[in-house]
A and B are shown apart, each in its own frame.
Chain A
Amino acid sequence: MDIDKDEAKRIAELARLGLDDDDAKRLAEEMAAILECFRALREADVEGVLPWIAPVAGSAPERPDIVEKSRAGKNALDGAPDRAGRHFRVPRVIG
């Protein structure tokens, strides 16, 4: 897949990053170079090979269903740029 300036801008928008034209051009080239490296992998014969999901074998470890209290909420509110009582206050996205 080729990455041009418009594609770079679309990806940036999904990530909520602001790019000017020069940034977009430079990033498009860098991303294209990265994808070029992956293209080499396409040469490999993966017929019958299951997709690789995780670097460890076995199932996801599971923890017992036990509640633990955390003070993180208070700390996070204290550190938030804006709050209203016990709520975080953020710019409205829709509505």
Chain B
Amino acid sequence: MAESPFDIVIGLEVHARLLTESKIFCPCANRFGEEPNSLVCPVCLGMPGVLPVLNHRAVDLAVRAALALDGRIRPVSVFARKNYFYPDLPKGYQISQFDRPFCEGGAVPLPDGSKIELIRIHLEEDAGKLLHPEGDDGHSLVDLNRCGDPLIEIVTAPVITSPEEAYLFLVGLKEILLYAGVSDCNMEEGSLRCDANLSLRPRGETKLGTKTELKNLNSFSAVRAALRWEATRQERTLLDGKKVNHETLLWNAETKEASPMRTKEEAHDYRYFPEPDLPPLVIDPSRIDSIRATLPELPGPKRERFMKEYGVRRYDAEVLTSSAELADYYEKVAARFPDRALAAAFLTGTFLRYLSEDDTAPGLAPVGPGALARLLSLVRDETISLSAAKKVFDVLWKEGGEPAEVVDRLALRQISDEGEVEKLVVSVIDENAPQVEQFLGGKEKVFGFLVGAAMKKSGGRANPSVLGEALRAALEKRRGGRRA
């Protein structure tokens, strides 16, 4: 594709559901997957005369997220009503924050060392969920369980320059929110939702072009795919000499296309005003300090420390710190086992594969860090080969047990004893006379075949370096004997 004459400008709005027990303004449970309309009360049903009361933990978690994202906490912030009529919102307004959000600024670091700046983070309540059943065209079904769940909305500046960068931002943001323990970020359950906007402008131009908004982005890859699609569409539109309309598009993950949302335009007039039922939110500096004191080490600093402290490569450090739990697991193995590179390789390869196959978390893995360290020690002292270690790991994972004992039970102990290897070499030379002749005749490649034959005969247990040396020595001896 020829280089585009346009620059892409992307902004993202991410909603994250906070990990509280109860909703933000009432004591109903903040829980996914319950019977419809079972987690509701007069407050979240929007009955007349009720009053919202702010959830203490929702504020704590919001502040925690803001600190983890390096935002500035506003000492006094104000709740505002966002007014719109829609069946998912029984009050007719959503309690949100408008011109004085609790957090301004902040940033998410990207793997290349750059940063995506945030404009703001605000607290708000979620709306209910609408179903549009087929075969009941004129109607929608409403479940208000989600109505009033505590959300933070994280808004980036329009500074993201490609769909790929948007994707990396979301991965980095999710890591930070998970590390900080503020949200489970489960996209299937709607705990993390993303809307995007995109505009193009002629390369070098500073004024922003007309943007479109993209909704219904149900995964990070959907965000990336939708943004790519929309960038291409806008580019064609502009190159055709037409104008981009300011509109909202709905992404269809199956057809991989977006189409304009059918909605009335005046719905965008939200008539925000300060929420009269809630005094301003005053966040005391001492509260901020005590929340800051409980923040764990975040992915970026942890990555740097892993590279410095354990000498692992950047890529391995990124994989190992992609979740706090995996990073903890690695550190526990590393505390018991000196070969950090081997531990990193085993964790990022075999261990992660088993985790994903069983869809489980490092902390719940059937092989704990102690057992894994003992297993890897057997590799390091050449008791077993790396491939034997993988067999033992499989048994430990599925049946449990102690590494050394499984090694004995499966008779996987590596043959390093020189006398034993010598015997193996002698019998392989005897049994493969034609190949030995070829080798002695100068066909060096046949050496590999002979090593393979010996390894096979040992049931894969021969120590490869001892075997290689012994075989070469025996063959050279024959060659020498012949010359004499």
Contact = CB atoms under 8 A, between A and B. Distances in A.
Contacts of B86: 93
Contacts of B141: 84, 87-90
B140 to A, nearest CB: 5
Contact of A63 (B27, B41, B138, B278): B27
B277 to A, nearest CB: 9
Nearest to A16: B85
Interface size class of chain B, counting residues whose CB lies under 8 Å from the partner chain: 35 or more
A54 B144 CA distance: 29
Given A59-B280, A72-B45, A92 B54 contact: no
Nearest to A85: B36
B238 to A, nearest CB: 28
Interface in B9-55: 20-22, 27-29, 35-42, 45, 47, 53-55
Contacts of A10: 266
Q: Is the interface of A mostly helix, strand, loop or mixed?
A: loop
A3 to B, nearest CB: 15
A54 B140 contact: no
Interface in A12-35: 13-16
Identify which of B37, B40, B280 gathers the most chain A CB atoms within 10 Å of its CB.
B37
B98 to A, nearest CB: 12
Nearest to A88: B142
Contacts of A58: 279, 282
Contacts of A73: 37-41, 45, 144
Given A54-B278, A54-B280, A62 B54 contact: yes
A47 to B, nearest CB: 20
A65 B56 contact: yes
Contacts of B301: none
Interface stretch (B268-276, B290-298, B411-419, B457-465): B268-276
B261 interface: yes
A61 interface: yes
Nearest to B283: A59
Contact of B37 (A53, A67, A76): A76
Interface residues of A, number: 38
Contact of B54 (A54, A63, A94): A63
A56 interface: yes
Contacts of A88: 37, 87, 141-142, 144
A92 B132 contact: yes
Contacts of A86: 35-38, 143
A32 to B, nearest CB: 18
A62 B53 CA distance: 6
B262 interface: yes
Contacts of A48: none
Given A54-B278, A87-B142, A92-B140, A65 B21 contact: yes
A90 B139 contact: yes
Nearest to B18: A65
B41 A70 contact: yes
A9 B132 CA distance: 30
Contacts of A85: 36
Nearest to B132: A95
Contacts of B282: 58-60
Given A89-B141, A93-B87, A65 B55 contact: yes
Nearest to A86: B36
B262 A72 contact: no
Contacts of A87: 36-37, 131, 141-143
A72 B140 CA distance: 21
A67 B136 CA distance: 35
A65 B57 contact: yes
Given A65-B21, A70-B40, 18 more contacts: A14-B83, A54-B274, A54-B276, A56-B279, A59-B279, A59-B281, A60-B54, A60-B79, A62-B54, A64-B56, A64-B57, A66-B27, A70-B27, A84-B133, A86-B37, A88-B144, A89-B142, A92-B140
Interface of A: 10, 13-16, 53-54, 56, 58-70, 72-73, 76-77, 82, 84-95
Q: Closest 8 A-B residue pairs measured CB to CB?
A: A59-B282, A70-B41, A65-B57, A87-B141, A68-B27, A62-B56, A88-B142, A54-B279
